[in-house]
Amino acid sequence: MMSEQYEYFAEVPQGYTVDRPDGLWRRRGDAWEYLSLLDWQWHDVTATNVQTPPAPEVLHAVSEEHAAALAADRQGWVQYWAHYSSRRAWDDGRAPTTVVRRRRSPENIRDESFNSESEWGPTMAAFNAFDGRSSTSPHLVELTTGEAEQLLQEIFGVTGATEL
């Protein structure tokens, strides 16, 4: 008896593309799994808090090779920002205080900032910056992975901090 192959899907809601999707899914029969963008493992949706795949209209079939390439590009799933204490600090030309990153995965969104112990730790900076209800929220300026790496070298004297 031949085993059933997986079908692979890129999760592509508005604002995303098949080459830069919001998530990566696979299905064998009626069993769905997603690639965790936090631990880089495939997880059965029924064994997690996710429970179901996204709506069919945002799932786009991709080849196994395309799915493998997307999964291998870990940095493609991460957003980085330079963190300024406020919009005024940024307007005044003050230097950023750290780097903030966001890793979105079907099971959780993880926002982290790089700290003085040379570690990534939980932060509310991204939430506060984009929430808009606070007048004292930090200001974030989007960075590429390379720019984030360079800024971390300048502020903390470390290299390789953006590696996943």
56-97 pLDDT, tens digit each: 999 999 999 999 999 999 999 999 999 999 889 999 999 999
Banded pLDDT at 130 (limits 50, 70, 90):
confident
Residues 6+ apart with CB under 8 A from 41: 35
pLDDT at 2 over 70: no
The residues pairing with 95 across neighbouring beta strands, listed in sequence order, are none
> Mean pLDDT in the chain?
93
27, 70, 106, 157 from 140: Cα distances, Å: 37, 26, 24, 21
- SS3 state at 125: helix
pTM beyond cutoff 0.75: yes
pLDDT at 32 over 90: yes
